[in-house]
Amino acid sequence: MDARSPTDVVPTRLTLRQLFYFVIVAEELNFHRAAARLHVSQPPLTQRIQAMERDLGVQLFTRTGKQIELTEAGRVVLAEAKSTLAQANRVWEMARRAGQGEVGTLRVSVGTSAYLLRAFREAVEAFRRDYPGVVLDLVQTTCRRAFEDLEQRRIDTCALRRVGRLLDGVHQIVIGRDRLMLVLPSNHPKAGSEKVTLDDVVAERFIQFSSERASTNLHKQIAEIWARAGLVPHDVQIGEGGLAILVMVARGFGNAILPSVLSGIHVPNVVWKPIGVDEQWTSSPVVLLYRIDAQNESVQSRFVDYVRRFSTESN
């Protein structure tokens, strides 16, 4: 195996400019025309080609008076020079696009509420359409996990339900708003009511998320609503996820309090009713959190702009 370093193999004096000049001379097969095309004088151009031949240790052109032709070595070097220049141009172009946020990877953790929010879906679809060179890595998560991942820089940004205290160095924008509502079987006695109070249904069976599966903020907000009403649901059954709970309500296993964004999932035989409490206790913003010192700041900045553009809130 050849243990020589790259500097032992490739002369350090061989530059991209030298390769470029060589390609132009090879295309023109005339130093005068090549010099005019390059906007340089002929003697320095000739000297550059001669220096390149010395560096490579081969003759690139045969000269007969004013006529020049590529040698066999010259034809081989020409193919490689063109390939090298093309690759250098690709490097430059990718660097430019990366600097402008047109390529790269953005890791985004997303809560269920954000996935179902129209503004967020439209922002993601538009961003992917306009920036196909960016890998938008969306991962469903819980609020607790998203906070940990954002703090440990395992993700770049996250979209989830309302947030209280922000982490240091983290900003947020409001994407849209959601509210908690009562979900009842369509044959429930209160199915025709405009609003339903918790007093009306507290004695009935309720289905709720398991503490492990629910968003911390969602679980806390539902508990706060019951506490403000001075009530505690006594007959509780656990459901594994919003869709599972909706199906259980439709089958008559109980009632539920769920985010209104889930109403976009068509499940027959259920009705959604506003809870008869102050609306501020049922309303909840869905927000995008992002670090101000992100690893891929250009890509993140473009994504945040798209989310802000499609959000239903003025930020």
Q: What is the pLDDT of residues 79-109, one digit of tens each?
A: 998 888 888 777 776 666 666 556 688 899 9
Cα distance between residue 133 and residue 136, in whole Å? 9
- Stretch among 32-36, 111-115, 173-177, 247-251 having the lowest mean pLDDT: 111-115
Burial of 95 (0-12, 13-18, 19+ CB in 10 A): exposed
- Regarding the domain delimited by 6-99, which CATH topology (the fold level of the hierarchy) does it fall under? Arc Repressor Mutant, subunit A (1.10.10)
Q: What is the average per-residue pLDDT within 227-246?
A: 88
Task: Name which CATH class applies to 112-315.
Answer: alpha beta
Query: Three-state DSSP class for 152?
Result: coil
Residues of the chain with CATH 1.10.10.10: 6-99
CA 261 vs CA 105, 114, 178, 241, 265: distances in Å: 28, 9, 6, 14, 8
The answer to whether the predicted template modeling score (pTM) of the entire model surpasses 0.85 is no
Q: Contact, 310 vs 120, CB < 8 A?
A: yes
Residues of the chain with CATH 3.40.190.290: 112-315
Q: Contact, 264 vs 187, CB < 8 A?
A: no
